Amino acid sequence: MPGLNLTAALRNEYQQLFDTCNIRPDKLSEVEKIIQKIIANKNRYDSVGNQLNIPWYVIASIHNMESSLNFNCHLHNGDPLSARTKNVPAGRPLSGNPPFTWEESATDSLKLQRFNMWSDWSITGILYKIEEYNGWGYRTKHPEVLSPYLWCGSLHYSKGKYVADGRWSDSAVSTQIGAAVLIRRLVEKNLISIKNIPLDTTDLPLVYYSTKKIDHGEKLQEFLNQFPGVYLLVDGKPGEKTSNAFKAVTGNYLFGDPRL
């Protein structure tokens, strides 16, 4: 599947989603149990990550999605380490002989996805690479559903998933805990610290969804306040309420609104 570029607009979307990521109350205890297991095995994630310059928690979050933290499975897809992978990507690792160690498999998988060539470990860069790891099928074919690979277990996701390669179900619900949700909880618990980079707005439209003050934000809100029934605080931050008003007037949410 063709790749997608990490544009300023996509960065803005990832940042907005991460900033507003709320874990479902009924999933919190499960999230905490996963976090405990991840921390207990931090040294194993570090042993791979340090060699490839990849943050340990990125590897851990993928490990949870691919094999529920099972160290007897390939990081590529959860197939057993006793043989080369059978499912996509099949035949990995190409070198060596089974049974493989988890570290050998993880290194091969991350190199295959060029994680070792990536250097942007801001939250937006992290979410981009993790979504790319799983594939762009949700974003390109079912944009109405945020990828559960990232957001399952949060209020950003409710239903809709691929039940097999290429097989979609509107009603199926992923029961896993998404990678972004785990990373968000790690940040909340002060177990990790992620540096953000300033948002590059060069290829964004003049006005767009943002929880931070932007150029022309106040002018947009003043303009919308001219319409009947619109009463916005003019603070230059065109977030959810401003986007709702924009939709009432134009029929569309603001560019970058997570609901798009």
Among residues 137, 155, 188, the one where a domain terminates is 188
Q: Which domain holds residue 247?
A: 205-255
User: With 70 as the cut, is the pLDDT of residue 202 above it?
Assistant: no
- Non-local CB neighbours of 26 within 8 Å, separated by 6+ positions: none
Does residue 1 lie within any of the structural domains? no
Q: What pLDDT band is residue 74 in, cutting at 50, 70 and 90?
A: very high
Q: What pLDDT band is residue 8 in, cutting at 50, 70 and 90?
A: confident
Q: Give the mean pLDDT of 130-143.
A: 94
Does residue 2 lie within any of the structural domains? no
Average pLDDT value for the chain? 92
Q: Give the mean pLDDT of 192-210.
A: 71
For 253, the token pair is 């949410």
Number of structural domains found in the chain: 2
Nearest to 146 by CA among 156, 155, 154, 136: 156
- pLDDT tens, position by position, 235-255: 999 999 999 998 888 888 898
Q: Give the mean pLDDT of 148-170.
A: 93
pTM of the model: 0.76
Q: What SS3 state is found at 80?
A: strand
Longest dimension (CA), the chain: 71
Q: Domain check: are 62 and 170 in the same one?
A: yes
Q: Domain check: are 247 and 176 in the same one?
A: no
- pLDDT tens, position by position, 23-39: 999 999 999 999 999 99
Q: Domain check: are 111 and 209 in the same one?
A: no
- What is the per-residue DSSP string for 116-181? GG----SHHHHHHHHHHHH-SHHHHH-TTS--HHHHTTBTT--S-EEEETTEEESS----S--HHH
**In a 10 Å sphere around its CB, with 0-12 CB exposed, 13-18 middle and 19+ buried, how is residue 95 labelled?**
exposed
Q: Domain check: are 180 and 225 in the same one?
A: no
Q: What pLDDT band is residue 182 in, cutting at 50, 70 and 90?
A: very high
Does residue 148 lie within any of the structural domains? yes
Among residues 188, 215, 236, the one where a domain terminates is 188
Q: Domain check: are 122 and 243 in the same one?
A: no
Question: Which amino acid is it at 124?
Answer: T
pLDDT at position 1 is 45
Among residues 139, 154, 188, the one where a domain terminates is 188
